[in-house]
Amino acid sequence: MLYRKLGKTGCQVSVLGFGCMRLPIKNSNQSAADRFDPNKFIDEEKAIQLIHYARAQGINYFDTAYVYHSGKSEPLLGKAVKGYREEILIATKLPAWMVKGPEDIDKFIDEQLQRLDTGYVDFYLLHGLGRQTWVKMKELGALRFLDKILGDGRARFVGFSYHDDVRVFKEIVDAYDWALCQIQYNYLDRSYQAGREGLEYAASKGLGVVIMEPLRGGRLAEHIPEKVQTIWDSAPEKRSPAEWALRWVWNHPEVATALSGMNSMPQLQENLKIAGEGRANSLSSKDLALIDQVTETYQKMLAIDCTACSYCLPCPQGVNIPHNFRLYNDHHMFRNQEINFILYNRMTAPEQRASNCAECGECEERCPQHIKIMEELKKVHSTLLR
């Protein structure tokens, strides 16, 4: 296993991190819907076997959160690492959107420590920060709370995970002495949310950068469109789509670790093998050109030519226009479409959905791509509503 320094923490973390959001599920085909179904249970025996194998092979960074697997992920991880606590690093997260008042913040971390059966976590992150949740966290005194848990030892380091545009991301980076951040980044999401600009900015400030969705929820590894697979097949050195995607992320020296949600032994073993080659700046110029070609091919499949520049925001009604367009584009680009229905109907706040558009037209006046946003939002809702 290769290791990299996690920013100014001084911790050496495995380049492959174990994400505990997609653990194996009992009596399931491992669909995305089952991960959000409170009546579905983690296959404890298989999940613990995977975690033990991962640890034995050198993975030392394990990422979970309060809401993963409807609250069942943290207790499973705590049980799996019993007896090995000092050998591994645990990251979990405060569900910022669920916090109603200052008293909730302490309540959550204490419950999480109990679930994990540990006296401390190595990394405690504010989960899913964005423009609105960031304002909310500041108003509720979350930064003072972070100082508090660092002082009393409930967390060794603190950070945040992020889902919004790069301007707000930089504001958050500069607002506190964070140890780490977690961002979505892959060869299709170079300019999405924090993107490459945010990655380099955070690293320049000494933050350790943890990457989520390096395979875009598995969509860059499975059910590959024929046009894309043809490009991969043309490479002199044969690699799986998963290897190309992971190697691209690890090629960035600013990346400390990339999280992968592995729910089977073959997946874990494949990713471990790929991780052995995950050195920074290890891809050739020809490799990078091939990946650029794949990126361009995917982009040509876009149903809406949205660059996620966010000039259309803020919407007076709260509609997250780039997010809606992204889900709609993913629906057209990838064969596995179930996750897009879940992300739209279950994980997008009602006011942020396309259906909340009041057709005021302000967004269209600001759109540099001259997209007929109001018309496209209607298509998004009719397509993704379930």
Q: Is 116 helix (H, G, I), strand (E, B) or coil?
A: helix
pLDDT reading at 310 higher than 80: no
Strand 180-184, strand 16-19: pairing? unpaired
Task: Check the CA dihedral 44-45-51-55 and report its sign.
Answer: positive
How does residue 377 score in pLDDT terms, banded at 50, 70 and 90?
A: very high
pLDDT value of position 38: 67
pLDDT value of position 171: 97
pLDDT value of position 36: 61
- In the block, residue with structure tokens 């997008």: 348
Q: Is residue 356 within 8 Å of 317, Cβ to Cβ?
A: yes
Backbone phi, psi, residue 348, to 5°: -105, 125
Average pLDDT over residues 2-8: 97
Is the domain spanning 3-284 CATH 3.20.20.100? The answer is yes
List, for residues 263-307, the tens digit of each pLDDT value: 999 999 999 999 999 999 999 999 999 999 999 999 898 888 886
pLDDT reading at 246 higher than 80: yes
pLDDT over 90 percentage in the chain: 76
Residues 6 or more apart from 211 whose CB is under 8 A from it? Answer: 182, 183, 184, 185, 186, 249, 255, 257, 258, 259
More confident residue, 162 or 223: 162
Domain spans in the chain, listed from the N-terminal domain onward: 3-284, 321-384
List, for residues 44-80, the tens digit of each pLDDT value: 999 999 999 999 999 999 999 999 998 999 999 999 9
Average pLDDT over residues 35-40: 66
pLDDT value of position 165: 87
pLDDT value of position 31: 57
How does residue 37 score in pLDDT terms, banded at 50, 70 and 90?
A: low
pLDDT value of position 84: 92
Average pLDDT over residues 9-34: 84
* Structure token pair of residue 124: 């405690």
DSSP string covering 282-337: -S-HHHHHHHHHHHHHHHTT-SS------TTPSPTT---HHHHHHHHHHHHH-S--
How does residue 30 score in pLDDT terms, banded at 50, 70 and 90?
A: low
How does residue 333 score in pLDDT terms, banded at 50, 70 and 90?
A: confident
Average pLDDT over residues 319-339: 85
Instruction: Select from 40, 37, 35 the least CA-distant residue to 19.
Output: 35
List, for residues 199-214, the tens digit of each pLDDT value: 999 999 999 999 999 9
